[in-house]
Amino acid sequence: MYHNQVNGRFLIVNTRIFMKKSCLFLSLLALIFSSTACKNDKQKTSHEEMGQDTENLLDMRYKMLLKYPVDSIGFPRSYRYKSKEVHKVPSKDWTSGFFPGNLWQIYQLTGDEVFKERAAKWTSFIEKEKFNDGTHDMGFKVFCSFGEGLKVASNDKYEAVIVKSAQTLATRFVKNVGCIRSWDFNKDIWEFPVIIDNMMNLELLFEATKISGDSTFHKIAVSHANTTLKNHFREDNSSYHVVVYDTISGKVKDKVTHQGLNADSAWARGQAWGIYGFTMAYRYTGDDRYLNQAKSSLNFYLNHQNLREDGIPYWDFNDPNIPHAVRDVSAASIVASACYELSKYDSDKVYEQYADKVLSTLMSEEYILGPDIDAPFILMHSTGNWPNNNEMDEPIVYSDYYFLEALQRKKVFETSL
């Protein structure tokens, strides 16, 4: 009897202890979950605030483009930190078309009519370049301005400017070589130079054929792309910057650089031009060789041991000062934009993933200019011409152009899913 009572009391006591411990455990568990939830909520709020801050910063940078005074002979090209000055250029400069192009693209991203109106004003200042036969950069100047305007609305005048520009550019094509001549300087050294950048100007020719029905432009573009495909790439699918041809035989005389570290290095923006250029050429032709080259060159770029973790390359993959070399955001922006297009032609997720990574990196205070910089630019850390010590680690207009294009393409890509 006593034994049973003791056992019963022991059972009751143990039950009470168990219940107390259970309550304590549940309270502790609840506290942990509550703490974790609060922490997650704080992190979520923090991330949301960071995202909102970045959007506000980006919106502020957009407005800086409107603040810049309209000037028919002063297109903003880059910003010089030391002198706190905007480097301005006339319409004949190869970068002139990017600023009006940026305004057109911001209009497409925001729907704000004031950007559209300002873009049209700046675009009109470039029209005279349709007669300039002393340059291969007709695509950069004319198509990045008038071409962007045509994406907003049909315009017979804009179409006429593009066709006339294509006719002018076609005069630089030499059949024996199969290419459009790039620069006219250094003639005593370079008989007929062709740079990888020139692939980007082919879009103007392709579009001119679509507008006019004249296949001459398309044929010239294809010939140039085929010759570049044959002679510009190394076995590892990196690209030379400059290939020099003999105008009589059409044979290659030399392979050099003008903006890279040396003739055998992989200049980052040069690789970007090739990736983007052959992706674009595939869009107009459906030629699998172009697509394969774009993918092979991208594979070289993405898997290079010197590509930074944040996706932004150093200005040249072979700079011996890496990791202390300057970066080139413009190269990353160009490749990111090309990757969104490549993702339309190939199901490999690597293209979209890299492009998303670059945009995520750039959409930060580390790369977006702060409110203290009174200049019509968006991004920091681009490099123009390292050998000439020119535009080193500065905001440069074409970096913004391809960044904005990548934002647009991402928007379209996500909408199509």
Contact (CB, 8 A) for 211 and 166:
no
| Contact (CB, 8 A) for 369 and 377 | yes
Q: How do the pLDDT tens digits run along the chain, 417 residues long?
A: 333 433 443 333 343 443 444 444 334 334 333 443 444 444 444 445 546 788 899 999 999 999 999 999 999 999 999 999 999 999 999 999 999 999 999 999 999 999 999 999 999 999 999 999 999 999 999 999 999 999 999 999 999 999 999 999 999 999 999 999 999 988 888 999 999 999 999 999 999 999 999 999 999 999 999 999 999 999 999 999 999 999 999 999 999 999 999 999 999 999 999 999 999 999 999 999 999 999 999 999 999 999 999 999 999 999 999 999 999 999 999 999 999 999 999 999 999 999 999 999 999 999 999 999 999 999 999 999 999 999 999 999 999 999 999 999 999 988 876
* Annotated active-site residue in 137, 319, 356, 393: 137
Structure token digits, residue 140: 């950069």
Active site residue 137: yes
Instruction: Name the strand (E) or helix (H) holding 165.
Output: helix 156-170
Domain segments of the chain as ranges = 1-50, 68-416
- CB-count burial class (<10 Å; 0-12, 13-18, 19+) for 112: middle
- Sorted by sequence, the CB contacts under 8 Å of residue 318 that are 6+ apart come out as 261, 262, 264, 265, 266, 306
**pTM more than 0.85:** yes
Q: Say which CATH topology domain 68-416 has.
A: Glycosyltransferase (1.50.10)
Q: What is the CB neighbour count within 10 angstroms for residue 252?
A: 17
Q: Give the residue among 16, 59, 51 at the shortest CA–CA distance from 369.
A: 59
Tokens (6 digits) for 212: 């006019």
Q: 410 — alpha (psi -120 to 50), left (phi > 0) or beta?
A: alpha
> Which of these is catalytic: 93, 197, 316, 319?
197
Structural Rg of the chain based on CA atoms = 28
Question: Residue 264: phi, psi to the nearest 5?
Answer: -100, 5
